[in-house]
Amino acid sequence: MTQQVDGAFNRVTVIVLDSLGFGAMPDAGNWGDTGADTLGHILESRAVSLPNLQGYGLGNARTLAGLPPSAEPRASYGRCALRSNGKDTTTGHWELAGIILEKAFPTYPQGFPPEVIDRFIAETGVPGVLGNVAASGTEIIKEFGAEHMRTGQPIVYTSADSVFQIAAHEQVIPVPRLYAICEKARAILRGRHEVGRIIARPFEGEPGAFQRTDNRHDYAVPPPHDNLLPTLAGAGLDVVCVGKIASIYDAMGVTVDLPAKNNEQSIDQTIRALNEDSRGLIFSNLVDFDMLYGHRRDVEGYARALEQFDARLPEIEAALDDRDLLILTADHGNDPTFRGTDHTREYAPLLVYGRRARAGVNLGTRGSLADTGQTVADNFGLKLNAGESFLREVE
């Protein structure tokens, strides 16, 4: 039996629909993102069947093509601004946990400088590197994959985000060795070159038919300690993380890490976590929206993935008990109809559901993603340094 705790809800589940932007923010022009609208443009591409999200009130939060407002929304609804300086995974997730970044992580649109690459080669013992450009991950292995197999040199690349990515064929550089190289890179990229994430990007196959595998692994900068996860854990609460969540926070404050490589696995693990006896936070990320469809500018794939999530939402809801609260949101945008292949500076949707929560409350435009983290903390009598709780509006 679940334990009773002081607070409106015994457990809060936060699911991040990775990159499901909800329309360009007022400062989007500063990022070259004027006109970006991830969800809006997907819904304009064709009729997208999202009856459960529609029932929650997603169409009540703003005007959306083919998704009319619900007459009686089953959840409360709104949108959240991204207040931090940035638009990447680390920035968005850290803000959800109450960390506002005034200074963006460094980016390298022209590739990494010699001082970084030379030290990387010297300290990892690799025979050189290929690439060192900003590129799409699928395209760069097409371009350099064959040469990598001939030379054994790993492929180093970045994007508009603050990332140092290392791609290698699993038969050329085995996964354990690639992970060790990434750990060394994490130690090297500190100070003014401290990128948000080092990412291992293993692939397999033959030239002309390379495919990335599910053995991706992220090495994040450790976040400041005064964020939601260690705050909850320090109070004796459970912090169950699904998918890439634990790696984004460098495992800080994580009490249970449930691995998941794609949306379906993340949903399965989230339901598994809901069926366990716990109190505190279940924190889940659905990576496919961003990784497979946003960055690859696959509008149809993104639409199908949204329909698949919507179809499984009743399973998630059925796993909730009477003292559970479910929050659906995002970390940034990645408009598949937009130019380039990178994230977009957008609002995030906000849907809040619980059997004992108030429904139909318009939560408006929240000043920060940190409002979600502050709400979770507030529920358990705790407080973060950033964000305004909406707990009283939904309890």
Per DSSP bridges, beta strands 197-204 and 163-169 are parallel
Q: How far apart are CA 142 and CA 206, in angstroms?
A: 10
Q: What is the DSSP letter of 293?
A: I
| Spatial contact of 68 and 54, defined as CB atoms under 8 Å apart | yes
Burial class for 211, CB neighbours closer than 10 Å (0-12, 13-18, 19+)? exposed
| Cβ count within 10 A of residue 138 | 17
Residues 349 and 379 in one domain: yes
Residue 151 lies in a domain: yes
Provide the CATH number for the domain around residue 226.
Answer: 3.40.720.10
Residue 88 lies in a domain: yes
The pTM of this model reads: 0.89
Residues 6+ apart with CB under 8 A from 332: 19, 21, 82, 87, 88, 89, 91, 92, 343, 344, 345, 346, 348
Residues 332 and 303 in one domain: yes
Residues 272 and 164 in one domain: no
Residues 92 and 118 in one domain: no
Q: What is the pLDDT of residues 166-198, one digit of tens each?
A: 999 999 999 999 999 999 999 999 999 999 999
Residues 216 and 229 in one domain: no
Residues 315 and 353 in one domain: yes
Q: What is the mean pLDDT of residues 132-161?
A: 94
Taking 50 as the threshold, does the pLDDT of residue 2 lie above it? no
- Helices 114-124 and 175-188 cross at an angle (nearest 10°) of 130
Taking 90 as the threshold, does the pLDDT of residue 5 lie above it? no
Q: Is 66 left (phi over 0), alpha (psi -120 to 50) or beta?
A: left
Q: What is the pLDDT of residues 320-357, one digit of tens each?
A: 999 999 999 999 999 999 998 889 999 999 999 999 99
Residue 359 lies in a domain: yes
State the alpha helices, DSSP H only, in the chain: 38-45, 51-56, 58-61, 89-96, 114-124, 137-151, 175-188, 228-234, 245-248, 263-274, 288, 299-319, 370-379, 391-394
Residues 202 and 128 in one domain: yes
Residues 253 and 123 in one domain: no
| Spatial contact of 210 and 203, defined as CB atoms under 8 Å apart | yes
Residues 248 and 141 in one domain: no
Model pLDDT, residue 7: 66
Q: What is the pLDDT of residues 39-75, one digit of tens each?
A: 999 999 999 999 999 999 999 999 999 999 999 999 9
Compute the Cα dihedral for 376, 221, 161, 243 and give only its sign: negative
Classify 47 as helix, strand or coil.
Answer: coil
Residues 186 and 234 in one domain: no
Residues 318 and 236 in one domain: yes
Q: What are the backbone angles phi and psi of residue 148, rounded to the nearest 5°? A: -60, -40
Q: Looking at the 3D structure of the chain, how many domains does it have? A: 2
Residue 49 lies in a domain: yes
Model pLDDT, residue 386: 98
Provide the CATH number for the domain around residue 147.
Answer: 3.30.70.1250
Taking 80 as the threshold, does the pLDDT of residue 6 lie above it? no
Structural domain span for residue 190: 114-220
Instruction: Identify the band that residue 287 occupies on the pLDDT scale cut at 50, 70 and 90.
Output: very high
Q: What is the pLDDT of residues 28-43, one digit of tens each?
A: 999 999 999 999 999 9
Model pLDDT, residue 1: 32
| Cβ count within 10 A of residue 317 | 18
Residues 344 and 274 in one domain: yes
Taking 70 as the threshold, does the pLDDT of residue 263 lie above it? yes
